[in-house]
Amino acid sequence: MSKVNVYLADGFEEVEGLTVVDLLRRAGIETDMVSIMGRKEITGARKIPVLADKLFEEQDDPDVIVLPGGMPGTLHLKAHEGLAYLIRKADKEGKLLAAICAAPTIYGEMGLLEGKNATCYPGMEDKLLGANWQEQPVVVDGNFVTSRGVGTAIAFALTLVTILKDEETAKSLANSIVYKW
């Protein structure tokens, strides 16, 4: 069973972060929302308060790292040294690294997407340093899963369910939420 941590910072895109948490939990995948802000209450980009499950300092070592986009949430995630260390460690261990919207640029600017196919929010492609930008809603390449934004959040989450469980679970989940996938 995989352990997923979704990292939250003030200004994160609520739909991108919470859709992933919701659908992974519906699929029975252990998923924690982890605050990097030193407090559990996080305020999203649309001023929606969200209560994280854990602080960064309290987290368990994840099998999967998920970064939602949003501004300035992505900038907070990018600036967090502990998260950067955890991302590099996870990549070296071949763990799944997922990001949506502006957040794939974090992996790009860390040099982790060199030679890989990836996508991100339109207009931020130049920050996917060394990556082969793709226009698809969700791109999987090796241990990286990237996606474009709010409109692709369900497809992003269902792709993670497919990888972490199986395609049948993802299809069943899509049907249960009346999503044509």
Q: Which residues are catalytic?
A: 101
d(CA 39, CA 131) in angstroms, rounded, equals 34
d(CA 57, CA 144) in angstroms, rounded, equals 24
Contact 107, 97 (CB under 8 A): yes
d(CA 101, CA 93) in angstroms, rounded, equals 24
Residues 6 or more apart whose CB falls under 8 angstroms from that of 36 comprise 7, 8, 9, 56, 76, 77, 80, 82, 83
d(CA 61, CA 14) in angstroms, rounded, equals 24
